[in-house]
Amino acid sequence: MILLPNERLCVTGGAGFLGRAVCRVLRLRGVADDRIVVPRRRDYDLTREADVERLYADAKPTVVIHLAAEVGGIGANLAAPGRFFFANLAMGLHLIEHARRAGLKRFVLVGTVCAYPKFAAVPFREESLWAGYPEETNAPYGVAKKSLFVMLDAYHRQYGMKSAVVVPTNLYGPEDNFDPVSSHVIPALIRKVEEARLAGRDHVVCWGTGTPTREFLYVDDAAEGVVRAAERLDAPAPVNLGTGREISIRELAELICRLCGYNGCIDWDITKPDGQPRRCLDVSRARERLNWKSQTSLEEGLRRTIEWRRAQPGM
């Protein structure tokens, strides 16, 4: 186990949704602000090796927590599959190689539930990651991330490089991305329902059939799991971070309507894709290796997220 207050940490994506939560947890651990480096895209394009090399020279980290990613919902993945593959693979490729050269104490990679096969047995166990091809709509993103799992394993075996891999399920919470083009399912649904409520519309339209299931993890709980991995793990065997609770998209939409106080109906546009049929993680490895489990119920997390959204200017 390493003591993070003694380290110099580089948190890629530290200004993003999960990144801000991870930095909050680091500060609660006693890590001083001047020991947390958060690179910004305007200064370092992590898809470019020269920029990554310059980042390591400037920041001189001893631990890297790699959260930076190009992500989005089904629509964004369908619109830019090539970019999602290239950007996510290139960032990790350069960061891991230069971590090896710099002799880092630990490299922490945050993966994605999209890496799991489309028809993996539910709940998803880490051993199932290679049991098939990911769901097609987000396969470029999932395969790019999964390739980095292999890279870290290879570097651990050949060079003894210490690293950790966590695989969080779908995240949500205050400060999430509510952009109508690139947002994930929970902020997209909250936005639709809130706009319909405020406009007095009698229905909202949602993609797909509503039958697929998902699992959702509150962002602060995920951040605690990421930091524990940085402290405790030194080999890149993937560790799931989730709740173990599965809910259908239809039930989720109905719950959000209730919590928002919206009484209209939901129309399902079955011409739009559903995505992966089911997603739910086995989280026993996280309990065993990190002494971690989620603390926030879905209903409570949704309430906090809706309250935050309503408090934003223009709402």
The packing angle between helices 219-232 and 17-28, to 10°, is 60
* Mean pLDDT taken over the chain: 95
Segment 82-91, tens digit of pLDDT: 999 999 999 9
Segment 96-151, tens digit of pLDDT: 999 999 999 999 999 999 999 999 999 999 999 999 999 988 899 999 999 999 99
DSSP bridge partners of 248: 213
Q: Check pLDDT > 70 for residue 315.
A: no
Name the pTM for this structure: 0.94
Segment 246-275, tens digit of pLDDT: 999 999 999 999 999 999 999 999 999 888
Q: 141 an active-site residue?
A: yes
**Rounded distance between C-alpha atoms, residue 61 and residue 53, angstroms:** 12
Q: Phi first, then psi: what are they for 267, rounded to 5°? A: -100, 130
Q: Check pLDDT > 80 for residue 73.
A: no
Given 44, 56, 116, 141, which residue is catalytic? 141
Domains of the chain by start residue, with CATH: 4-175+216-246+277-295 (3.40.50.720)
